[in-house]
Amino acid sequence: MFEVGFSELCMIGLVALLVIGPEKLPKMARLAGFWIGKTRAMVANVKAEIHSELQAEEMRQLVKSQSGLEELQNLQEEFTHTIHSVKASSEELEDSIKQSNPHE
């Protein structure tokens, strides 16, 4: 986002020394460091949660696509079974027609 160089940090330190005073400056610096650390930890936790949610969503999508493929395979198996049934019925019909017509 933005860069803070060494000269900017020195200026901030000098202003803090003048405003806060030399007695309270170390205490304030520790407090600022504590809150910065807490904020970084919180941001890292939020990033980790978002990452895990994205992975979970990807897994859901993958499972959903796999179930769709399984449904297509089941449909293809049913279609093949139906074709075999129709062929068998057709052959039975032809046999019964041949038996009823001895001329052929």
Tens-digit pLDDT profile for residues 20-39: 888 888 898 899 899 999 99
Q: Is 7 part of a structural domain of the chain?
A: no
* Mean confidence (pLDDT) of the chain: 85
Q: Is 69 part of a structural domain of the chain?
A: yes
How would residue 1 be classed by pLDDT, with cut points 50, 70 and 90? Answer: low
Q: Is 23 part of a structural domain of the chain?
A: no
- The residue range of the domain holding 80 is 31-100
Percentage of residues of the chain with pLDDT beyond 90 = 23
Q: Into how many domains does the chain fold? A: 1
Q: Is 14 part of a structural domain of the chain?
A: no
Q: Is 68 part of a structural domain of the chain?
A: yes
Amino acid symbol at 23:
E
Q: pTM here?
A: 0.49
Burial status of residue 46 (CB atoms within 10 A of its CB: 0-12, 13-18, 19 or more): exposed
Tokens of 19: 């405003």
How would residue 13 be classed by pLDDT, with cut points 50, 70 and 90? Answer: confident
